[in-house]
Amino acid sequence: MPQVTSSSSVEIKNRAKRQFESWADSYDRSLLNHFMFRPACMALMEEIARWYDEQRRPFCVLDIGCGTGTLACRLAGSPWPVSVVGMDYAEGMCQAASAKAAHAGHQAHFATGDSEHLPFADASFDIVTCSNSFHHYPHQQAVVHAMRRTLRPGGRMILIDGFRDNIVGWITFDVIISRVEGKVYHAPWTVVRDYFQAAGFTAIHRRKLNFWFPLLVTIGDVE
């Protein structure tokens, strides 16, 4: 990814924060929710089910960029023996998520936090997820390292973001979304794979979701 100076990275993060704070109320009803966030959430549930089929033990999930807590609520309402923590950079999102979980009677915990400075102890989680948020991060490699730090042995990282390695994805993310959201970076698969390798993940693989609004799902394990 292009080098980011510290002043521009602060500006990028503040911009994202403003965008999402003002979006917290209408987020669940937006078109993007229908075309991107919901399929991403379904894919995360499938990947988590796959992990659970392999491991069959109680587990903890951290969802980074949890938004209004859609995944956290689904997990907390699932029959799995799971405890869930959601984190978002926008405080308004965490409040919306917490209210949504409480309303549904689900047990989930939320914290406002910065993906580059994760407020979690080493080896605290079995699964870390991050969906449709990674392109806002000015220092993506550092974030992948931090995610790896919070995972336990046997854990799994599941990252979903815009797939820009074909023409549909390139137009969607590098042209349209970048115009709307400003300085964001949708990393190609080879770059994401390198981030994962550098952070020490193993069994790194990917899948692609959707024809329109294509999404890249990257999965890596901790030995």
Q: For residue 9, state whether it binds other proteins (rule: CB under 8 A).
A: no
Interstrand relation of 151-162 and 125-131 (parallel, antiparallel or unpaired): parallel
Q: For residue 19, state whether it binds other proteins (rule: CB under 8 A).
A: no
Q: Looking at residues 23 to 82 of the shown chain, list those that interact with other proteins (rule: CB under 8 A).
A: 60
Q: For residue 91, state whether it binds other proteins (rule: CB under 8 A).
A: yes
Counting residues that bind other proteins (by CB under 8 A) gives 23
Among residues 110 and 213, whose Cβ is nearest to other proteins?
110
Q: For residue 110, state whether it binds other proteins (rule: CB under 8 A).
A: yes
Closest alpha carbon to 145 in 136, 153, 157, 127: 157
Q: For residue 207, state whether it binds other proteins (rule: CB under 8 A).
A: no
* Residue burial 130-141, b: 16+ Cβ < 10 Å; e: rest: bbbbbbbbbbbb
Q: For residue 113, state whether it binds other proteins (rule: CB under 8 A).
A: yes
Among residues 94 and 187, whose Cβ is nearest to other proteins?
94
Q: Which residues bind other proteins (CB under 8 A)?
A: 60, 83, 85, 87, 89, 91, 94-95, 98, 109-114, 117-122, 124-125
